[in-house]
Structure 1
Amino acid sequence: MGDDATPAETDAGDRVGEVLRLPAFAFFWSATTIRAFGSSVSGVAVQVLIVTVLQATPAEISILSALSVVPYVFLGLIVGALMDRRRRQRTLVITSVGTAVVLASVVVLLLSGALGFWSLALVILVLGVLALFSDSASQPLLPRIVPRDSLVMANARLGQSSTVAATAGPALGGALLTLLGAPLLFAVDATLTAMAAVLQSRIRIEESKPAPRAAGRHVGHDIAEGVRYTYRHRTLRPLALSVHTWFLGNSIVATLFGVFVLRELHLPAWAYGVALAFGAVGGFLGALTATRIGALLGTGRAIFVGRALVILPWLVLAVVPLDAHSGLVVLLALVSTVQFVYALAMGIEDANDTGYRQTVAPDALQGRLNSTIRTVNRVVFLFGALLAGLLATLLGYRVTLGIAAVIFAIAALIVVVSPLRDARHTDTPDRQ
């Protein structure tokens, strides 16, 4: 590290406002926040349409759920490679415009009475493809928008706004759905997405032009280079392996938590909602403190804190001998604390994790690095969701949640026994 690395890092927690004063990041953050709110609002309408209007069967609901993930599994590596050879800012604008058009088509389908299972399935699939391109462009673009020593701060700001959107969006969506109806709700989301496209078009940055491919090389070679870089890098390899392991544990708890709380503990739906609200508060506080924790401990240790902290709530839920007869107040306090600590841990590690990736990888490999990790994460999550159902059937909910806690512990262990432990976001980009 250079002589000025320490001041930059120790002052990081006090410079969050400075990131939002950068015009390019202000446009990027505003567009991302608007899209997050729009998606959270219209997501309520999608769920209502699936259950009440289409009267979808469990098998059809599973198909619709899988369609949003399928593009990441089958196209993730290809799109990631393309994003290292295309203008990412232009891609963001095009995907926002495309998303607005698709959302507007839902309004037409609803008003004409033509919305059915297969037409909604096509909409969800197309939106999934557009989201894949948008995600694959946005993460590699951020290092071109803010200085590298501000990437953790920038990701923390994005995490804060996304948490607020995930909290307020569904509640607002439910109210608007009642007042306006589904067609107008989708029209609102389409309008917000179009506004995001305008903001994204105003981002003024220079994007480096990739070197032409050598003779005989094609996109497959680009993908292989990205995979090799990710899993051969001294610190990015353990980071990727830790993230994949974390996703396995997360897929289990995300699949089972709601069922366990509502079915095993017999908490009412309103109490479940309160617990999720505590999770939103924890996620916001985690994102709010992520920059300062990273500056104080170093990025690697901040990631470890997040990975280690997430073990506790699921271990407690697995071993504390509470059941439906333990009393509403006690159970609500328990599950609310579980969600609070769980989201707090994610808020701390996510900004440091993503910021470190963006700091260390060279611009020419940003798209492939992120798509490699993201694609494997999606595959792991699908496997984990299926595994969760099998384990819960064979072993019960508590034992399965305990297994998830052990998996989270392995993810933390990977960090602490590897060079990632001493990583800092001031590390120099390289091509290890």
Structure 2
Amino acid sequence: MSNAAAGPAGPVGPAEVLRTPAFALFWSATTLRAFGTAIAGVAFQVLIVTVIQATPMQISILSALGVVPYLFLGLIIGALMDRWRRQPTLVLTSVGRAVVLATIPVLLLTDTLTFWSLAVVVLALGVLTLFADSAAQPLLPHLVARRSLVMANARLGQSATVAGTAGPALGGALLTLVGAPVLFLVEAGLIAVSALLQSRIRVTETRAEPRPLGRHLGHDIVEGVRYTYRHRTLRPLALSVHTWFLAHSIVTTLFGVFTLRELGVPEWAFGLILAVGGVGGFLGAVVAPRIGARLGAGRAILLGRTLTVAPWLALALLPLTATTSLALLLPLLAAVQFLYALSQGIEDANEMGYRQAVAPDFLQGRMNSTIRTANRVIFFFGALSAGFLVTLFGYPVALGVAAIVFAVAALVILFSPLHRARHDDDHGVPGASA
């Protein structure tokens, strides 16, 4: 564990996590990167629709390319992160992302931006983002004390929520003022600054254990999968989050179409609804450490999972149509997004903090990549199933199915040893598979 976790005056309490220099640099770099990504997201949509005039099939391909690296490389890169140093990986991937983003203005100014060149850019960014995510999660326990992990994840969640809420509006304004080429240069600059901040992090990472002669990466991957799904509390946590992702893929795929097309909500009102959701996510991340300390990790995650059920069940059961008054629709839909984001804010920080505290360092990368890769696969197929559910049964039934799946995710926690787990349990080291 790095000296940064303790700080100059002894252990750092959860409330003081941003006073830890290493984490402050990590948080600043992550926040800058989140804002840059959110700002440029608007420009990417404009490029796809207006510049290359992509067909619906091409838009689907570009969307899928963002997920493909997780499906095919997630477990491999997770295993590599248990062999490589994570902090240099973060720096190099940020430099790589800045370079890739800087190629877009060049392609625009030389009139060589096509579907295929943009596809290469999207795929390269997806691979680099996968490396960055795979390095960041196992690095965090080296930057703060174990008891501060929930607070650290909450701080990261707060800044990500603010970036996701304010970034698109800021990006739209900048796109109008300076145009897409300058906007992408701005994002490349932000990512470059984040790389500089990451390079200043002082952390001593645990040296990877020597592998037996002839042991290849496949053995490491199998070991990580086996550890995750045999662990007494990580197994139900993983199964619960997989189930949650199935329902999440359905509601995120359908909510926009249901709101805008089926209910006829105007675009300005839809933007306001999503903004209210951002407020809920921020508040959830704010209260997550206190809830985790009071209830324990398992019950805090269970609370988040349980809160998720009610808004989508209400949306499925209420007789809403395009003739329903906007005065009723607006607060109702805003409440759905608020509660949904609030629940995510509560559970995300507690879930990540618990995962990072439980797994030994030499398995962190593989444990996280195992869960993350399965989530992406489930999301991919869940999004496809959403279309079939709506086509066959309509929006209310599809949203009701999602609510039931959310409830199952909560029940997995309730009827498992995880619901009694606390962040300050003595987790020990490997072998907690009893």
Question: What TM-score bracket applies, with the shorter chain setting the length?
Answer: over 0.9
Match of 1:210, as an amino acid?
Answer: A
In 2, Cα distance between the equivalents of 1:139 and 1:217?
A: 25
Aligned to 2:8: none
Match of 1:239 among 225, 232, 237: 237
Match of 1:254, as an amino acid?
Answer: T
Alpha-carbon shift at residue 197 of structure 1 (Å)? 0.2
In 1, Cα distance between the equivalents of 2:368 and 2:287?
A: 24
Match of 2:319, as an amino acid?
Answer: P
Aligned to 1:7: none
In 1, Cα distance between the equivalents of 2:276 and 2:20?
A: 32
Aligned to 1:4: none
Moved over 2 A (4+): 14-17
Which stretches in structure 1 are left out of the alignment for 5+ residues? 1-11
Aligned to 1:326: 324
Match of 1:83, as an amino acid?
Answer: M
In 2, Cα distance between the equivalents of 1:391 and 1:429?
A: 45
Aligned to 1:47: 45
In 2, Cα distance between the equivalents of 1:16 and 1:178?
A: 41
CA contact (8 A) 1:83 1:367 kept: yes
Which stretches in structure 2 are left out of the alignment for 5+ residues? 1-10
Bigger mean CA deviation after superposition, 420-429 or 222-231: 420-429
The reply to whether residue 36 of structure 1 matches residue 42 of structure 2 is: no
Aligned to 1:430: 429
**Structure 2 matches for 1:19-418, cutoff 5 A?**
19-418=17-416
Q: 1:304 to 1:69 in 2, by over 3 A?
A: same
In 1, Cα distance between the equivalents of 2:32 and 2:151?
A: 19
Q: 1:424 to 1:218 in 2, by over 3 A?
A: same
Deviations 1:286-315 (A, max 9, x none): 000000000110010000000000001100
CA contact (8 A) 1:359 1:429 kept: no
Q: Tell me the SS of whatever aligns to 1:106.
A: helix
In 2, Cα distance between the equivalents of 1:92 and 1:201?
A: 9
CA contact (8 A) 1:152 1:354 kept: yes
Alpha-carbon shift at residue 430 of structure 1 (Å)? 2.5
In 1, Cα distance between the equivalents of 2:199 and 2:428?
A: 28
- TM-score calculated relative to the size of structure 2: 0.96
Match of 1:221, as an amino acid?
Answer: H
Q: What is the percent sequence identity of the aligned residues?
A: 69
Deviations 1:329-353 (A, max 9, x none): 1001111000000000000000000
Q: Tell me the SS of whatever aligns to 1:313.
A: helix
Alpha-carbon shift at residue 101 of structure 1 (Å)? 0.2
Deviations 1:386-416 (A, max 9, x none): 0000011000001000000000000000000
CA contact (8 A) 2:14 2:147 kept: no
Alpha-carbon shift at residue 429 of structure 1 (Å)? 3.6
Bigger mean CA deviation after superposition, 297-306 or 318-327: 318-327
Alpha-carbon shift at residue 131 of structure 1 (Å)? 0.2
Bigger mean CA deviation after superposition, 106-115 or 295-304: 106-115
CA contact (8 A) 1:287 1:351 kept: yes
Alpha-carbon shift at residue 111 of structure 1 (Å)? 1.1
Match of 2:368, as an amino acid?
Answer: N
Deviations 1:215-261 (A, max 9, x none): 22110000000000000000000000000000000000000000000
Alpha-carbon shift at residue 324 of structure 1 (Å)? 1.5
In 2, Cα distance between the equivalents of 1:410 and 1:44?
A: 35
Alpha-carbon shift at residue 280 of structure 1 (Å)? 0.1
Q: Tell me the SS of whatever aligns to 1:421.
A: helix
CA contact (8 A) 2:243 2:405 kept: yes
- TM-score calculated relative to the size of structure 1: 0.96
Aligned residues: 420
In 2, Cα distance between the equivalents of 1:206 and 1:55?
A: 49
In 2, Cα distance between the equivalents of 1:279 and 1:382?
A: 23
Match of 2:77, as an amino acid?
Answer: V
